[in-house]
Amino acid sequence: MAHLKELLRKCSQTNSKKETKTEEELFSKFYKEWKTTSGPVDSSYSTIPRFYFKLPSEDEVLPQKLREEARAMFLQRRSRQLLDNNELKALWVLLDKNHSPPHAADKQLINYDDFLKVAAEAGPKCKSYLTPSVFAKLQLKESHGRISIMALFNYVMRKVWLHQTRIGLSLYDVTGQGYLRESDLENYILELIPTLPQLDGLEKSFHSFYVCTAVRKFLFFLDPLHTGRVRIQDILACSFLDDLLELRDEDLPKDLQEANWFSAPSALRVYGQYLNLDRDHNGMLNKEELAGYGTGTLTTVFLERVFQECLTYDGEMDYKTYLDFVLALENRHEPQSLHYLFRILDINNQGYLDTFCLNFFFRAIQEQMSVHGQEPVNFEDVKDEIFDMVKPQDPTKITLQDLLNCGQGDTMVSILIDLNGFWTYENREAMAADTTDSTDEAAEV
């Protein structure tokens, strides 16, 4: 009986090997046929090497599959080349053992000779991290020409983390072109949620809204041209991933959670505001409902323009459009937000704001002041202050570039769209004096 089982096992292995061999032969056959029938071959190919390979179309199943498998193997190979935890620990031990005299009381330092010694002993995986240029970057202008061991180790860890993250993001890059589409980003964050202890309390039913909230920040700031995709290089260069992965800290302080757009309290706050504004509970916001946003002091003229310029459905705003609106108003000093708001202020789509545009919006501020029993401010005075503040290249009009260059674009926008923002600007000196008095009183106590 045992002999029969062994015989069956060997037969099964033989059949499996034959099937694998047959699959490989068929693949080679079909691929060669596809290559020869994909188009005429120019005679110059025999002398000039091909340097451009057109991406396969969606209906070319075999080339698509081959490309996916090749990318997966490449990413696996790159992943194996990275230092793992044990290798990082071994590198730290090696650095600790080879720090250079004279010894400092507060930190360990290493000179170039000992640095080269560590680089030789650390192994091939560490070679790219322990180069002369890295040593030069970390120079402290120290009298003995040494660098900090801790700074070097932190540099290596940061580089390893960046490479790991790039590989992780590339796994979601379906097209293999170095960018993530909105759906790719959604998949990445959805699968990341279980690894973030700070999000453990979120109900499963809220996960889709959380993902939408998180992805919107990437798209708003990293895709200003609305192409529907974000470069992986840009994701790595910004701080958003650091903020997102900060949620791995189980003991993250409450103030940091509230300041982090990706935290559970922040996501629940934004979504809760949306639900509170939606008085008819149809899942969308109209102009009257959006007027209750924040302190309720945004002008009706500005809100009208928002609904004219932004994507709406039968005159109502969905959650994604609302998120763009919130991100623009909560980050008015950022270039992307100023770009969003400038498009709304530019009522004639002429690429600049003139006296007519400024007056068009400021009249609504004057009307609100009258409603609240305040004496309206003269527009000419405000206009002169705005032009003095922005200092545009052309003294008769303000371009988006002028707004970005002046460093006070957020203040100018607030003056035109928000009564509370205008009041804050008008009373800035009195508020500054109150702050100074409070500080002096605290110091005396």
pLDDT digits (tens, 9 = 90+) for 209-264: 999 999 999 999 999 888 999 999 999 999 999 999 999 998 889 899 999 999 99
Better-predicted residue by pLDDT, 45 or 154: 154
The class of domain 282-437 in CATH terms is mainly alpha
Q: pLDDT tier at 6 (50, 70, 90 boundaries)?
A: low
- What average pLDDT does this structure show over 23-42? 66
**Residue 147 in 3-state DSSP?**
strand
**Backbone phi, then psi, for 147, in 5-degree steps?**
-125, 160
| C-alpha span between 144 and 142 (Å, rounded) | 6
Q: Where are the domains of the chain?
A: 80-166, 176-277, 282-437
| Averaged pLDDT of the chain | 87
DSSP codes joined into one string, 92-108: HHHHHHTPPSSPPSS--
- Each residue of 281-293: pLDDT tens digit? 999 999 999 999 9
Please compute, for residue 163, the number of CA atoms within 13 A of its CA located in the half-sphere on the CB side. 18
Asked if 412 and 389 touch (Cβ cutoff 8 Å), the reply is: yes
Query: Helices 85-97 and 112-121, interaxial angle, to 10°?
Result: 140
Instruction: Please report the pLDDT score of residue 225 as a whole number.
Output: 85
What sections of 122-231 are H helices per DSSP?
Answer: 132-137, 149-170, 182-192, 207-222
Enumerate helices (H) and strands (E) in the chain, giving the number of each: 22, 6
Q: pLDDT tier at 7 (50, 70, 90 boundaries)?
A: very low
- Each residue of 95-119: pLDDT tens digit? 999 988 888 777 889 999 999 999 9
Most confident of 15-29, 56-70, 315-329: 315-329
319 Cβ contact list (under 8 Å, min separation 6):
209, 212, 271, 274, 283
Q: pLDDT tier at 70 (50, 70, 90 boundaries)?
A: confident
**Which residue type, as a one-letter code, is found at position 307?**
F
Instruction: Please report the pLDDT score of residue 37 as a whole number.
Output: 57
| C-alpha span between 238 and 170 (Å, rounded) | 17
pLDDT at 393 over 60: yes
Asked if 56 and 64 touch (Cβ cutoff 8 Å), the reply is: yes
- Each residue of 426-436: pLDDT tens digit? 887 766 555 55
Opening angle at CA 288, ends 284 and 291, nearest 5: 100
| C-alpha span between 268 and 205 (Å, rounded) | 12
pLDDT at 371 over 60: yes
Better-predicted residue by pLDDT, 440 or 140: 140
pLDDT at 5 over 50: no
Q: Do domains 176-277 and 282-437 have the same CATH topology?
A: yes
pLDDT at 1 over 50: no
pLDDT at 71 over 90: no
Q: pLDDT tier at 443 (50, 70, 90 boundaries)?
A: very low
- Please report the sign of the dihedral spanned by the C-alpha atoms of residue 369, residue 373, residue 379, residue 383: negative
Better-predicted residue by pLDDT, 437 or 133: 133
pLDDT at 4 over 80: no
Instruction: Please report the pLDDT score of residue 435 as a whole number.
Output: 54
Flag whether the pTM goes above 0.85.
no
Q: pLDDT tier at 61 (50, 70, 90 boundaries)?
A: confident
DSSP codes joined into one string, 273-315: HHHHH-TT-SS-B-HHHHTTSTTS-B-HHHHHHHHHHS--BTT
Instruction: Please report the pLDDT score of residue 57 as a whole number.
Output: 82
| Least confident stretch, 29-33, 159-163, 277-281, 332-336 | 29-33
**Which residue type, as a one-letter code, is found at position 103?**
H
Instruction: Please report the pLDDT score of residue 63 as a whole number.
Output: 84
Fold of 176-277: Recoverin; domain 1 (1.10.238)
| C-alpha span between 167 and 173 (Å, rounded) | 10
Give me the residues paired with residue 229 across strands. Answer: 181
